[in-house]
Amino acid sequence: TTTTTMTGFEWPWQYSFPPFFTLQPNADVRRTQLDAWCALVVSWGRNNNVSQIDVTEASSLPVFKNPSISRSLPADSIMVVLEELAKRGNLEWMDKTKRRGYLFWRSPAEWGQQIYTWAQATSHINSVCTLYEISQGDDTINQ
Amino acid sequence: MVFNILNEPILAITSYKMRRRAGVGAIQRQKIQQDKFKEKGSEIQENQLEQMTLQMEKFREKLEEFAAKHKTEIKKNPQFRKQFQEMCASIGVDPLASGKGFWCEMLGVGDFYYELGVQIVELCVATSHRNGGVISLEEALRRLNHRRRQDNQISTDDLVRAVKKLRVLGSGMEVVATGSSQFIYSIPGELSMDHTTLLQHAENVGHMTVSSAASNLGWTQERVGRTVDHLLRIGVAWRDDQDRPPTYWFPAFFQQCTTAE
């Protein structure tokens, strides 16, 4: 069973799994774990309208802890997750100090893919559009 | 000349010398007699075997007729399918043995299990990143049947057979019974007895520390450590460092994982 918040957000099974809050020693397993963490942070961010993350406050974000199993992701592990998000284009550091970052629910690459697919579907390939046309135009009413 | 029942000339005993020769002859005659009886015995045996073979052939023919007539039923009904398999096994027929021949072509039974085998492999590959290559038969059944039409459901027996066939093809997959349940292992490389014993224990307790496992299994801590290390490396076990001492958990036995989408 997954636990849901009032906003209907469904936590993935890993969130109830105590070892999920410990970075796993094996590289392959860790990669899978980070995949799950990144997906979780992005979907939680989208669901809760969180578009910025401050490293010093990150430990208090609900996404990084689960009180029902008394587990929370340690600060240095949070940093690893954030760095991973940055690598995937879902986080952009505001400056070199890496204290705050913008959280992108869709990475630029994903946006690119979305727009390209839309362009194909509406026959806009090789033409020029304004941002307004893309986001508000007649062809995008249902997108 | 006088001949006895075995068509051998009988020597008339006329002198001492001849008697001696008759003694030797008697032994020889006895041997020949034994050989003849043996021959007769084999002949009877052969006859019986021939009879039996004929019977088996007749039975086989009937079975083929039956199979052809109930082809649809076999494909759709797991219980029926199982009984049919058992009937075949009792006369040494394996419908899944080869890709050619009556059974496979006529029935498509081979196809059925082949396709199921492919689906099982796909499922294992898709879920191994989170369970390390260990999936319970129950979970596999649930997920596979979810994908199939209502009139095309499979049974546990079907799964076990399909995995057995996969094993023969050298896929490295096998069904292992640990504890009260059965699991499909699709882990590259062999699992040792120690690994499966520890997993059996893990299935019962859910999570463990090195010392709890050591005392429950009667092993040294070093042996537990070695075994757990391997399971960590392949992702079957995960470590929780926020417990003192660290505990080890197993996604394959974690309820939320096995019931997740």
CB contact B238 to A (< 8 Å): yes
Q: How confident is the model at residue A142 (pLDDT cuts 50, 70, 90)?
A: very low
Domain chopping of chain B, boundaries: 112-260
Phi and psi angles of residue B237, each rounded to the nearest 5 degrees, phi first = -115, 145
Q: How many Å apart are CA A47 and CA A44, to the nearest integer?
A: 5
- Residues of chain A with Cβ-Cβ distance to B209 below 8 Å are none
Q: Which of A3, A10, A13, A76 to mutate to test the interface with B (most CBs of B within 10 A)?
A: A13
Question: pLDDT, tens digit, for every residue of B211-228?
Answer: 999 999 999 999 999 999
CA-nearest of B196, B206, B218 to B243 is B206
Q: Is the pLDDT of residue A76 over 50?
A: yes
The sign of the torsion formed by the CA atoms of A44, A48, A54, A55 equals negative
Residue A4, min C-alpha distance to chain B (Å): 13
Q: What is the pLDDT of residue B106?
A: 56
- Residues of chain A with Cβ-Cβ distance to B243 below 8 Å are 18
- Residues of chain B with Cβ-Cβ distance to A28 below 8 Å are 235
For residues A140 and B72, the model is more confident at B72
Q: What is the pLDDT of residue A93?
A: 92
CB contact B240 to A (< 8 Å): yes
Cα B220 from chain centre: 34
- Residues of chain A with Cβ-Cβ distance to B128 below 8 Å are none
Task: Please list the ranges in chain B whose pLDDT falls under 50.
Answer: 12-18, 98-99
pTM equals 0.65
Q: What is the pLDDT of residue B14?
A: 45
The pLDDT mean for chain A works out to: 85
Q: Contact at 8 Å (CB) between A75 and A67?
A: no
Q: What is the mean pLDDT of residues A66-80?
A: 94
CB contact B256 to A (< 8 Å): yes
* Contacts across the A-B interface (CB distance below 8 Å): 61
ipTM reported for the complex surpasses 0.85: no
Q: What is the pLDDT of residue A118?
A: 80
The sign of the torsion formed by the CA atoms of B59, B61, B64, B70 equals negative
CB contact B260 to A (< 8 Å): yes
Please tell us whether the domain made up of B112-260 is placed in CATH 3.30.465.10: no
3-state DSSP call for residue B260? coil
Write out the two tokens for B33: 């007699």
CA-nearest of B221, B47, B74, B82 to B160 is B82
- Residues of chain B with Cβ-Cβ distance to A24 below 8 Å are 232, 238-239
Least-confidence region, from A2-11, A78-87, B127-136, B240-249: A2-11
**Percent with pLDDT over 70 in chain A:** 82
